[in-house]
Structure 1
Amino acid sequence: MRPIVLLFFLIFMSFSTFGNDIQIGVYRGYNIHRIDFSYNEGSYLIFGDTTAFGALLPNEFVSIKRVGNSVELKKGVRTIGTFKKVTLKPTGTENVLRLRPRSPVLKERKYNDGFIVFSGTKSLTIVNDVSYKHYLGGVVESEGGGGKHVEYYKAQAVISRTYAMKYLKRHQKEGFNLCDQVHCQAYHSKLIYTDDIRKAVNAVDGVYIMDTVSNTLIEGFFHANCGGQSSSSDYVWKEDIPYLQPFKDTFCIYTRQATWEKRIPKIEWRKFLVNNYFYPIEDSLYRSIMYTFEQEDRKAFYISPHLGIPLRDLRYHFKLRSTYFSCTPDGQDVLLKGKGFGHGVGLCQEGAMGMANKGLNYQQILSFYFEGIEFRHYFEKLFFNQGPYKVGDF
């Protein structure tokens, strides 16, 4: 075997062995004290700490219960023992487990690949040790749903991979990389319904996005609908990111989440402004415009910046779909007429879907929403040994 071919083979094998997994904490919105794992597809080896206890086969299940700082493992009705952690290792690459929490009782989910379970601070910590391919399939289906164009799915897969790489150590202290909640990325189950997502994930396997100015992974933010204009990042997180500047987006303005309305009692609106931001209610001018606000282009503050009332705070307190709204007094209410759904920063999902339907590919879609970016592939980084990333980083 030629030296350069051998080198590539060794790098590829190292990556396949060590670098293709990511650990995701699942059911993180619940305090689970007991959970059952049952056979769905392919067998699993069962480990209590480092000791093997056979395999999980068809028609079998294991039950894991939190007992103080340890976990109790049962196979069927037989108690195996108490351990620091229980590991379920798949014997193949397409294996699937069924998960059913028993305390509390929750809806069953299915996940690819392996699991590690140990006692957390208040409940069980349940970690899906999963390949990027399977993880991204579940994320894209959870975030984007079915029935979309394959180029949109490619764009979502690339941005989701980039986001995962960027925040790979977010939950390191808790014993995993990312969680299944929206502040990481929604991941509610394995890919189940949409075969086009599987094709898309495979087509862009290994692709991620870098900012060409800083030569770092981009902030892969995305949201449902920007309402026709994206938001500057500093309007939401107080950080100005050069490749996330506001711009007009006409691809999403006729979709189902492009507009919305909401009524809020005047007394609640006034109470929030006065109690939290000392709105100058005694000033007759400001009192007269308290319920009137026009936002033709996206703004960061309500009425005037010097009042210091961030629109993001109004959105969170009143559970608004976005900060992109105007309002007027209407009887005893404040009538809000808004645009978009979500924070408005980065990729607009419904806009990206519209672009894909018009024939644009995933690279054109992502370049529209993120300025000054470059697409890279981890195999290239590994082979040529460029940049700050190593096999173990992925």
Structure 2
Amino acid sequence: MKFKAFLLFLFLTSFSVLGNDIQIGVYRGHNIQRIDFSYNEGSYMIYGDSTAFGALLPNEFVSLNKVGSKIELKKGVRVLGTFKKVTLKPTSNENVLRLRPRAPVLHERKYNDGFIIFSGTKGLTIVNDVSYKHYLGGVVESEGGGGKHIEYYKAQAVISRTYALKYLKRHQKEGFNLCDQVHCQAYHNKLIYTDDIRKAVNAVDGIYIIDTVSNSLVEGFFHANCGGQTSSSDYVWKEEIPYLQPFKDTFCIYTRQATWEKRIPKIEWRKFLVNNYFYPIEDSLYRSIIYTFDQVDRKAFYLSPHLGIPLRDLRYQFKLRSTYFSCSPDGQDVLIKGKGFGHGVGLCQEGAMGMANQGLNYQQILSFYFEGIQFKHYFEKLFFNQLPYKVGDL
């Protein structure tokens, strides 16, 4: 057993040196035509295709400009050439670059590790070649913010790693794994403000969760606030997932995003239902209840399933915080009183924060939101898979 543990230690040590990288497309909500990369911490080697142009040092920057299917590369004001791909490789593990889009002009961001840039169909494709440790730190801070309990950060890091592993090939055709937008996971910067996030990510390094029935990675969905009851996955994506059944959650009901209100003009509400779903407005019974809907427990459809009006469609059309709402006529408006923020499936972030504040650890938190799961360690799995002999022989 000691020999087995020693081999595992050697493997994990060598694996951390080699890195466990993931490629993230950043600024994906914009068609970047020109962007500057400047020194922040640690030097970077500059490559245009396979040609090396030395290092990016303090007070220096490179400028990349889309020119058709290629990129014009400048170092300062000196043009280095036009290339299919530009690569910025860090010279050590903790290096950081500043990114400042110039066309269009956008806020500066900072990211750890390396970059690969090539010309896409509409703009530059900017890919952060980053370690899981640095990626998860940025995701947890972007998704959860600062000032939270470390056990919540651990839970968020585990679910975010699981999600990344599950959808590792989502943007493969575009030249990277995941993007920085919320349909993948928000990743708006390197970890900057919260050292507890760094500690949490390190504490759960390599841990992910599987569904014990299918022995596959769970769907690591999460949302801001469930409003007191999580949602069944088929209410949102038409696919029922056994370990994501709806249940009551009292840990989030007194938080800032637990309740909300919004007014919609009656004429807009009625027009949308009639024009898009052929609501039977000529029927006197249905005409009398078109603005009245009571949702004690979460439902999938407005008023009645046979009308075929998904609540998710109403949410998107009228920019509602969630599908968990009731409504009633109020003068010329429909008064909507809602609960929660987000799709309601999986981990409720504000609920998880409440659980952590009450002393529950990250495993208890995740087991509360994902039924019948098992915690696995990615590095250990890789180690035992590569052994040329059985573990029992050690």
Is the TM value for this pair above 0.5?
Answer: yes
Letter in 1 for 2:385: N
Q: Structure 1 residues 262 and 114, CA, compared in 2 at 3 Å: closer, same or farther?
A: same
Letter in 2 for 1:140: V
Q: Structure 1 residues 204 and 9, CA, compared in 2 at 3 Å: closer, same or farther?
A: closer
Within-5 A mapping of 1:337-356: 337-356=337-356
CA offset at residue 124 of structure 1?
A: 0.2
Question: What residue number does 2:31 align with?
Answer: 31
- After superposition, give the CA deviation of every residue in 1:226-255 in whole Å (9 maximum; x if it has no partner): 000000000000000000000000000000
Question: What residue number does 1:320 align with?
Answer: 320
Q: Structure 1 residues 242 and 286, CA, compared in 2 at 3 Å: closer, same or farther?
A: same
SS in 2 for 1:298: coil
Question: What residue number does 2:104 align with?
Answer: 104
- After superposition, give the CA deviation of every residue in 1:72-117 in whole Å (9 maximum; x if it has no partner): 1111100011111000000011000000011111111100000001
Q: Are the counterparts in 2 of residues 11 and 382 from structure 1 also a CA contact under 8 Å?
A: no
Question: What residue number does 2:279 align with?
Answer: 279
SS in 1 for 2:191: coil
Letter in 1 for 2:213: V
Q: Distance in 1 between matches of 2:319 and 2:190?
A: 30
Q: Distance in 2 between matches of 1:13 and 1:48?
A: 32
Letter in 1 for 2:22: I
Within-5 A mapping of 1:48-59: 48-59=48-59
Question: What residue number does 1:370 align with?
Answer: 370
CA offset at residue 8 of structure 1?
A: 4.2
Question: What residue number does 1:208 align with?
Answer: 208
Letter in 1 for 2:324: Y
Q: Distance in 2 between matches of 1:260 and 1:341?
A: 9
Letter in 2 for 1:183: H
Q: Distance in 1 between matches of 2:278 and 2:155?
A: 44
- After superposition, give the CA deviation of every residue in 1:6-33 in whole Å (9 maximum; x if it has no partner): 8647744664466600000000011101
Q: Are the counterparts in 1 of residues 155 and 366 from structure 2 also a CA contact under 8 Å?
A: yes
Letter in 2 for 1:313: D
Could you list the structure 1 runs, at least 4 aligned residues long, displaced by more than 4 angstroms after superposition: 2-11
SS in 2 for 1:299: coil
Q: Distance in 2 between matches of 1:17 and 1:152?
A: 28
Question: What residue number does 1:117 align with?
Answer: 117
Letter in 2 for 1:321: R
Q: Distance in 1 between matches of 2:152 and 2:58?
A: 37
Question: What residue number does 2:91 align with?
Answer: 91
Question: What residue number does 1:262 align with?
Answer: 262
Question: What residue number does 1:300 align with?
Answer: 300
CA offset at residue 275 of structure 1?
A: 0.3
Letter in 1 for 2:78: R
Q: Are the counterparts in 2 of residues 24 and 179 from structure 1 also a CA contact under 8 Å?
A: yes
**Alignment partner of 1:127 is 2:122:** no
Question: What residue number does 2:62 align with?
Answer: 62
**Structure 2 gap segments, 5+ residues each:** 387-394
Q: Are the counterparts in 1 of residues 8 and 380 from structure 2 also a CA contact under 8 Å?
A: no
Q: Are the counterparts in 1 of residues 39 and 60 from structure 2 also a CA contact under 8 Å?
A: yes
Q: Distance in 1 between matches of 2:19 and 2:364?
A: 29
Q: Distance in 1 between matches of 2:122 and 2:170?
A: 19
Q: Structure 1 residues 49 and 3, CA, compared in 2 at 3 Å: closer, same or farther?
A: farther
**Structure 1 gap segments, 5+ residues each:** 387-394
Letter in 1 for 2:142: S
Q: Are the counterparts in 1 of residues 230 and 247 from structure 2 also a CA contact under 8 Å?
A: yes
CA offset at residue 259 of structure 1?
A: 0.2
Query: RMSD of the alignment, in Å?
Result: 1.5
Give the TM-score normalised by the residue count of structure 1.
0.95
Question: What residue number does 2:170 align with?
Answer: 170
Give the TM-score normalised by the residue count of structure 2.
0.95
Within-5 A mapping of 1:97-246: 97-246=97-246
Letter in 1 for 2:232: S
Question: What residue number does 1:21 align with?
Answer: 21
